[in-house]
Amino acid sequence: MTDAVKPTVQTTLVNLTIDNVPVQAPKGTLVVDAAKRAGIDIPVFCYHPKMKPVGMCRMCLVDIGLPAVDRATGKVQTDPQGHPVINFGKALQTGCTVEVAEGMVVVGYTEKVQKARQDVVEFLLTSHPLDCPICDKGGECPLQNLTMAHGSSDSRFIFDEKIKLAKHVPLGELIYLDRERCIQCARCTRFQDEIADDPVIGFEARGRSLQIVTYSEPGFDSIWSGNTTDICPVGALTTSDFRFGARPWELQASASICTHCPVGCNTTLNTRREAKAGGEMVVKRVMPRQNEDVNEIWLCDKGRFAHHYAAKDDGRLTRPLVRKDGKLVATTWEKALALVAEKFDAAGRGLLTLAGGKLTNEDFYHLAGLARARGGKAVLDSRMAGGDLTAQVGLSAGSNLVALGAGDAVLVIASDLEEEAPLWWLRVKQAAERGVTVVVANPRRTKLDRHATHTLRYDYGYEAALVTALIGSFSPKRADLPAAVQALIRNKDVKDAGQVIAQANNLIVFYGSDGTGLAESTALARACANLLIGTGHVGRANNGLVAVWDKANAQGGWDMGLRPSADLAADLGAAKVAYIVAADPAGDSPALAEAVNAAEFVVVQDIRLSATAELADVVLPAAAFTERDGTFTSGERRVQRLHPAVPAYAGLRGDFAVTAQIAARLGLAQEKLLATKVFNQIAASVPAYAGLSIAALSEVREQWPVIGRGDVYYGGTTYDNKQGLGVQLPVSGDSPALTFEQPAEPVKVKGLKAVAVTRLYDRGTTVTPSTVLGTRLPQTFIVLSVEDADKMKIEPGQKVKATLNGVTAEAEARIDNSLAKGVVLAPRSLGLAIDSPCEITVKK
């Protein structure tokens, strides 16, 4: 990343002139960026403000002059009028590789410059197919725009000399390459190398035969591949779900928030009315929306492509269903709601509400209110703890990972960050590149290890013990600590990491759920909070605790008063009425499916007929996230708003509105029309949200780099943010105390121990409808250590039978040479009966 990406870091300003306009820019800024900040366009193809300059395309050629300096005196020479004498070089220079200097004069409108740019465009067009009418990039194409601005009105193009290359080359399942359109700018390959750290594509051959190839199997095997289509300045790279699907000028744009992980990436949903959808408005693609505090201008492929679960298709629920003679049959809303209200009324304290983590804050607020009013229990569908602690010692208002630099530290523990929250992985990686000390603690190897200053290993179950040892490495000795903690304190790697953490100017701690259940997560969150308190890294910006939640809006659920269940299977099985909203416990785990079956009466509220819904007595349909308004709270405690992009399918309403209709039949008044009114109630009654307003969430400011649809050549086709950057909540203001707690002993088993891990691609209800993801969606698998696989004579890819908690499933065996003997990784939401560490039996 160039210094131009973070100009606020620079303090020394230099004065220069660009096209007769006086400009001030931070020292180290590139000429093209200084011009852009001053509102002056210097055209580029290969340059991108998020990547290192390479000067390949030569489109940014400008005439650059510097003040003449007297060699004897060292002073700037002046003409008779007292103006500095400017010496221009004989050759034009690339504005993307030259840094600004005091007194510099940049000219981009001379005949020499214009001719150079015209020549570059002409050269590119001689190898270009000129198939704009059928090109997906047409209408948002930098080559089109810059041809109109700088191309010649005459053509010397000889058709017979045109080179012909393959036009529909699948680099992978998601990205297609048109080799004739490629202008060899290397934006895509540089992005994969510099930004994504996934150098799985590159150039092959030379000259006009130079072409992009994939080095991975399967092809273009990266979770960041979709971003290359955003920054491609031509139509060489297109996505498999959008190519030939619509013209950019036909699309409407609506602001939204990604619902897949706790980062809260800002997105834009592009929609169009489709004839083949019966004239309905449909989502054609998901694009990044710039928010430099959150996802910058990037999206992972799950956020970009896994939106089809909200599509208006035959799989969507449109009418309530009730069980009759053992089968679910359609009924009216009045009958369904009357039956549900009757059962709720009779259940009393036996009402269990299970709310999924992709609901909005407004949904949680109503669900929690209804549960309290009936004396029931409101449970958050999550296996992580600590939402109360993040309110005390979490990131506070004004925090931004980009602000971290040398002297600061980041601890990532119990999290495979790229799998659980990809954009946080990206931003922590970038922090490491800026000199931030990154400490990664995990029992196995993760991708972030490549960028870690310190890498700590521990046995699964000893997460809290390790953090306690970090505290002990710089605190007075305590004789009452367990032997395992004492041993860790004596470990040199732990000592070194502990000292760095203690001395850091700023410290952010990310804790995840890699290998933990709720009990382990509770202990880990408490230990991490103690670490922050003990080092004084609380109550100020760029310091605090971040939960890498297993669900997108789990933080919002905690804030609204919901809590995870210590024994969800028992709670579900004992419920007189289980009200399950936007959650699929039966699909997540066979053991939970049995628990759902054991409940006396089950009401499921969802957008599709999930595995849990198939077991229900009543199924209530609801609107999808693409069809509704609401707010989410990210893991960084940033409250953000999503907007409806398409009309609600079949007149359906948001979950809060459905809940309000049930509540009305029970004599409880809840807002059932506008999510904004519910948010106002939240702001008035939830202390952490006091003073918030929709207007505050909608505020915007100038961001750098400048991304705009009018100059897509510069930053790509990311949407600029005109709908709101959100508001980061302040911490509670309490004065948390450091409390040493004895770490619990890990779960003991006789044989192999299975631990639950999160994979970016699972087979949950929000992912499987997106068939475009193809083989990226895995079948059930487990991961064995090399020693255990050798002992059982199991080969990679072999089918085995895995038994957990009394439930057997067929799974593919994978092997990880960094995994400790006796441990088996069991991915969540892939058909395995696991939510916390347990014994596993593996047989061929």
Q: What is the CATH number of the domain that holds 55?
A: 3.10.20.30
- In the block, tokens 């529909």 appear at 168
Q: Which tokens is 397 given? A: 């208002």
Flag whether 510 is in a domain.
yes
**pLDDT the model gives residue 735:** 64
Radius of gyration of the chain (CA): 29
pLDDT band at residue 720 under the 50/70/90 scheme: very high
**pLDDT the model gives residue 8:** 44
Count of structural domains, the chain: 5
Q: What angle do CA 511, 513, 517 make, to 5 degrees?
A: 130
Flag whether 683 is in a domain.
yes
Report the alpha-carbon distance of residue 387 to residue 237 in Å, rounded.
41
For 214-265, the pLDDT digits (tens) are: 999 999 999 999 999 999 999 999 999 999 999 999 999 999 999 999 999 9
Residue type, 589: S
Beta-ladder partners of 132: none
pTM of the model: 0.95
Percentage of residues of the chain with pLDDT beyond 90: 86
Backbone angles phi, psi at 239, to 5 degrees: -90, 145
**pLDDT the model gives residue 477:** 80
Alpha-carbon torsion 790, 793, 794, 795, what sign? positive
Q: Residue 839: left (phi > 0), alpha (psi -120 to 50), or beta?
A: beta
Would you give the DSSP letter of residue 808? E
What domain range includes position 421?
Answer: 387-548
CB 783 within 8 A of CB 325: no
Report the alpha-carbon distance of residue 410 to residue 428 in Å, rounded.
8
User: Are residue 510 and residue 652 in the same domain, yes or no?
Assistant: no
**pLDDT the model gives residue 161:** 73
State the CATH number of the domain containing residue 493.
3.40.228.10
Flag whether 580 is in a domain.
yes
Looking at 185, 220, 239, the residue that finishes a domain is 239
User: Are residue 18 and residue 128 in the same domain, yes or no?
Assistant: no
- Give the DSSP letter string of 620-661: EE---GGG--EEEE-TT-EEEEE---SPPGGG---HHHHHHH
509: Cβ contacts below 8 Å, ≥ 6 apart? 410, 411, 413, 528, 531, 532, 544, 545, 546
Report the alpha-carbon distance of residue 567 to residue 210 in Å, rounded.
59
Alpha-carbon torsion 547, 550, 551, 552, what sign? positive
User: Are residue 590 and residue 705 in the same domain, yes or no?
Assistant: yes
pLDDT band at residue 2 under the 50/70/90 scheme: very low
Mean pLDDT value across residues 95-122: 96
pLDDT band at residue 342 under the 50/70/90 scheme: very high
User: Are residue 402 and residue 510 in the same domain, yes or no?
Assistant: yes
CB 535 within 8 A of CB 504: yes
User: Are residue 779 and residue 829 in the same domain, yes or no?
Assistant: yes
User: Are residue 466 and residue 485 in the same domain, yes or no?
Assistant: yes
Flag whether 462 is in a domain.
yes
Flag whether 312 is in a domain.
no
Residue 3 has pLDDT above 50, yes or no: no
pLDDT band at residue 208 under the 50/70/90 scheme: confident
Mean pLDDT of the chain: 94
pLDDT band at residue 4 under the 50/70/90 scheme: very low
Looking at 686, 708, 723, the residue that finishes a domain is 723
Mean pLDDT value across residues 627-641: 98
User: Are residue 340 and residue 225 in the same domain, yes or no?
Assistant: no
Flag whether 448 is in a domain.
yes
Flag whether 296 is in a domain.
no
pLDDT band at residue 740 under the 50/70/90 scheme: low
Peptide bond into 705 cis (omega under 30): yes
Flag whether 202 is in a domain.
yes
**pLDDT the model gives residue 581:** 99
Q: Which tokens is 456 given? A: 């700590």
CB 178 within 8 A of CB 750: no
User: Are residue 406 and residue 491 in the same domain, yes or no?
Assistant: yes
CB 371 within 8 A of CB 666: no
**pLDDT the model gives residue 5:** 40
Looking at 221, 239, 257, the residue that finishes a domain is 239
pLDDT band at residue 529 under the 50/70/90 scheme: very high
Range from 108-122, 362-376, 518-532, 703-717 carrying the lowest mean pLDDT: 703-717
Residue 317 has pLDDT above 60, yes or no: yes
pLDDT band at residue 481 under the 50/70/90 scheme: confident
For 533-589, the pLDDT digits (tens) are: 999 999 999 999 999 999 999 999 999 999 999 999 999 999 999 999 999 999 988
- Helix (H) or strand (E) segment spanning residue 791: helix 786-791
For 173-184, the pLDDT digits (tens) are: 999 999 999 999
**pLDDT the model gives residue 752:** 97
User: Are residue 579 and residue 713 in the same domain, yes or no?
Assistant: yes
Residue 186 has pLDDT above 60, yes or no: yes
If DSSP codes are grouped into helix, strand and coil, which group holds residue 50?
coil
